[in-house]
Chains A and B, each alone.
Chain A
Amino acid sequence: MNATHSSSSSGGSGIGSGPLGYGNAPTCYFVMIGTKDNPIYEAEFIAVNTARSSSGGATIPEAKKEEFRHLNQFIAHSALDMVEDIQWSTNQMYLKSIDKFNERFISAYLTAGNIKLLLLHDAKSEDAIRNFFNDCYELYIKTLLNPFYEPNSIISSAAFDTKVRLSAKRYL
Chain B
Amino acid sequence: MSSSASATSRLSVMSMAASLPSVGGYSSAASSIYAKRNTTNILERHLNKTRGAEVSVNAFAFLFSEMLQYTQKRVNGIQDLERKLNELGYRVGIRALDLLVWRDKNSKRETRVLGMLYFIHTTVWKTMFGKQADSLEKSTENEDEYMISDNDPMVSKFISIPKDVSQLNCGAFMAGIVEAIMDGCQFPSRVTAHTVPIEGFPLRTTILIKLDREVLEREEQLK
Contact = CB atoms under 8 A, between A and B. Distances in A.
Interface of A: 87-88, 90-94, 110-114, 134, 137-147, 151, 157, 159-160, 162-163, 166
28 contacts: A87-B111, A88-B218, A88-B222, A90-B111, A91-B108, A92-B107, A92-B108, A92-B109, A93-B107, A93-B109, A110-B109, A112-B97, A112-B101, A112-B102, A113-B97, A113-B98, A138-B47, A138-B102, A141-B47, A141-B102, A142-B47, A143-B42, A144-B98, A146-B42, A151-B95, A159-B5, A159-B41, A162-B5
A143 B94 contact: no
B130 interface: no
Given A138-B102, A162-B5, 9 more contacts: A93-B107, A93-B108, A94-B107, A138-B47, A145-B95, A157-B43, A159-B5, A160-B43, A162-B1
B43 A159 contact: yes
A134 B107 CA distance: 9
Contacts of B47: 138, 141-142
A114 B184 contact: yes
Nearest to B222: A88
Given A88-B218, A114-B186, A145 B97 contact: no
A112 to B, nearest CB: 4
**Which 10 A-B pairs rank lowest in CB-CB distance, beginning with the nearest?**
A112-B101, A113-B184, A93-B107, A113-B98, A141-B98, A91-B111, A112-B109, A162-B5, A142-B43, A91-B108
A91 B110 contact: yes
B43 A163 contact: yes
B45 interface: yes
A166 B102 CA distance: 21
Contacts of B99: 141, 144-145
Nearest to B186: A114
A159 B9 CA distance: 11
B185 interface: yes
A114 B185 contact: yes
Interface of B: 1-2, 5, 41-43, 45, 47, 91, 94-95, 97-99, 101-102, 107-111, 184-186, 218, 222
A127 to B, nearest CB: 13
A81 to B, nearest CB: 15
A154 B195 CA distance: 39
Given A141-B98, A145-B95, A145-B99, A112 B185 contact: yes
A166 B172 CA distance: 42
A147 B1 CA distance: 26
Contacts of B110: 91, 112
A151 B42 contact: no
A73 to B, nearest CB: 24
Contacts of A138: 47, 102
A125 B101 CA distance: 26
A144 B95 contact: yes
A92 B42 CA distance: 27
A113 B42 contact: no
Contacts of A114: 184-186
A88 B109 CA distance: 10
B102 A137 contact: yes
A113 B110 CA distance: 10
Contacts of B107: 92-94, 134
Contacts of A139: 43
Contacts of B101: 112
Nearest to B218: A88
Contacts of A144: 94-95, 98-99
A136 to B, nearest CB: 11
